[in-house]
Amino acid sequence: MRIGIDLRCIPEDTSQLTGVSNYALMLTKYLLRLETSHHFVLFVRRSLRGVPSGGEGRRGNPMAREIASLLSVARNDAEVVRLPDRVPFYDSHIRAARIIRGQNLDIFHGPAYTLPLFLKSDSNTRIHPNVSNAKDSNSSRSKYSSHSSVNSRHSSRLVITIHDLAIYKHPEWFPEGQWFSTKFLVPRSIKKADRIIVPSQSTKKDLMELFQVSSFKISVVSLGVEERFMKHETHNMKHASSFKFQVSKPYILFVGTLESRKNIARLIKAYSQLPQELIEKYDLVIAGGKGWKYEDIYQTAREHCHCEESDLGRTTKQSHGTAARPVGTRPFDTAQGDLERSRNGRSDKKGKVVFTGPVSSDQLPSLYQNAALFVFPSLYEGFGLPVLEAMAAGIPVITGNISSLPEVVGSDSNTRMHPNVTNKVNLNSNHSRVNSRHSSRSKCAMLVNPYNVSEISEAMKQILFTPYGAAGRSGLDKTEAHRLAKSGVKRARQFTWEKTAKLTLEVYERIIQTH
């Protein structure tokens, strides 16, 4: 088969990947490593300079070097095709569709929710596997696709990945002005796709309910975690981590974009309610870039805790529609005053919150592995990759008992997700009644009602009072925290990007065989 993958969602600076762009990059990397006879066509933006067409690396920006690296280690044929990107709608939907059709693809995969509007599926024409994989040295296209010998004006079978449907379930969490995407582009893409890949049973349920999509059209393929998150070289990383992120003592960690649905404000309040001895021992480190309404999170931090921002959190670039801020300034006008009042005994604020700003992919493993506890009380996730990464790093995890999160941690409570059972959680119900009044446990994490600040705080207290820490992991087999951490590593090892790639390839092949 000739398989096309749209990589235009990946930014030029690959050190600052979002969840969607990271998925596209990792999926492509591991697809190219599989032993197959398929040919892959990688579509990138034409403005991306230095992108090679073959396996030879060239100078360029980080994205260009990443593509060159992918091609150099590919175990099957691959090439790069540039798509125009100067005129937003015309280039993205009309010219791109024309170029994609000209590539005589069997499969075209849009890994970021959408497909070009004018790209249509060819689901009415059956492709025979024995024809599409026939070798022909005279034509690199005909040896992978029967289309080149049947109809040169064909369209491909279309696949999209829907990561979550938060904007449809909770539009109040997102800025206005996205009507074209939410009302037109995404629904059209869902309708014309031959197969839709989702990362969890929870997202599959949402897709069926919101768009009336048949379950037979949806394939659940979980995300993976990289092996580098599994390495526990804490004795070598601890100093470097503390230096880079301005953290001088043990810390509680959150990783994610600063936005409403991540529930960071309640996490800060829960942290401020911890007993004084824990407040004095642990900082709260919040790692992630600024999202919509991030100012509300800063305001909560100012009201409840002392605040500091790492040098890595300072930026000169605009992010997520927020105003740029000069290097060297701090977002907390009262932070220094708070610290001074604390020294003089006149402040009732408790604990310290450190905002690191965006964290590069290379720095994440160190940040995870040196944390004493990872807390991720998100109100909605399509999957929840940070939870999986934290479990892989071998640290205790607290997360919410709603959406896909119990599914990821393997909950054995009433929120457990089974392959053929829909999620019983009702997000429209009273927030104070989400599942239970008390935190529950899977074998790998503590599950809490993310709307209940006291419950989050109590779960944190239960783990932090356990004699557990990055520097003292030996001899703690009988502690609850150690059992959670040990089980978390075992659970995380079940999720690999190689498995994600293999299952995705099976989706491609089934489409060809069943149409």
Is residue 484 within 8 Å of residue 397, measured between CB atoms? yes
Q: What pLDDT tens digit does each residue of the chain (515 aa) get?
A: 999 999 999 887 766 678 898 999 999 999 999 989 999 999 998 876 655 554 444 455 677 777 777 777 777 788 999 899 889 899 999 999 999 999 999 999 999 999 999 998 876 444 444 434 434 444 444 444 544 444 444 568 999 999 999 999 999 999 888 889 999 999 999 999 999 999 999 999 999 999 999 999 999 999 999 999 986 654 444 544 554 666 778 999 999 999 999 999 999 999 999 999 999 999 999 999 999 889 999 999 998 888 776 543 443 333 333 333 333 334 343 343 343 334 344 455 678 999 999 888 888 999 999 999 999 999 999 999 999 999 999 999 999 999 999 999 997 543 333 333 333 333 333 343 344 444 555 678 999 999 999 999 999 998 988 655 444 433 333 467 788 888 999 999 999 999 999 999 999 999 988 86
Which candidate, 138, 146, 140, 141, places its Cα nearest to that of 122? 146
Which candidate, 375, 428, 404, 406, places its Cα nearest to that of 164? 404
Contacts 24+ apart (CB under 8 A), 263-268: 263/377, 263/378, 263/379, 263/400, 263/450, 264/297, 264/300, 265/296, 265/297, 265/300, 266/377, 266/450, 266/451, 266/453, 266/456, 267/375, 267/377, 267/456, 268/297, 268/300, 268/301, 268/304, 268/305, 268/353
Candidate CATH numbers 3.40.50.300, 3.40.50.2000, 3.40.50.1220, 3.40.50.980; the one for domain 227-492: 3.40.50.2000
Question: What's the half-sphere exposure (Cβ side, CA atoms, 13 Å) at 367?
Answer: 29
C-alpha to C-alpha distance for 77 and 91, rounded to whole angstroms: 27
Residue boundaries of the structural domains of the chain: 2-224+497-514, 227-492
Domain 2-224+497-514 matching CATH 3.30.70.20: the answer reads: no
Single-letter residue type at 359: V
Does 2-224+497-514 match 227-492 in CATH topology? yes
Which pTM was predicted? 0.80
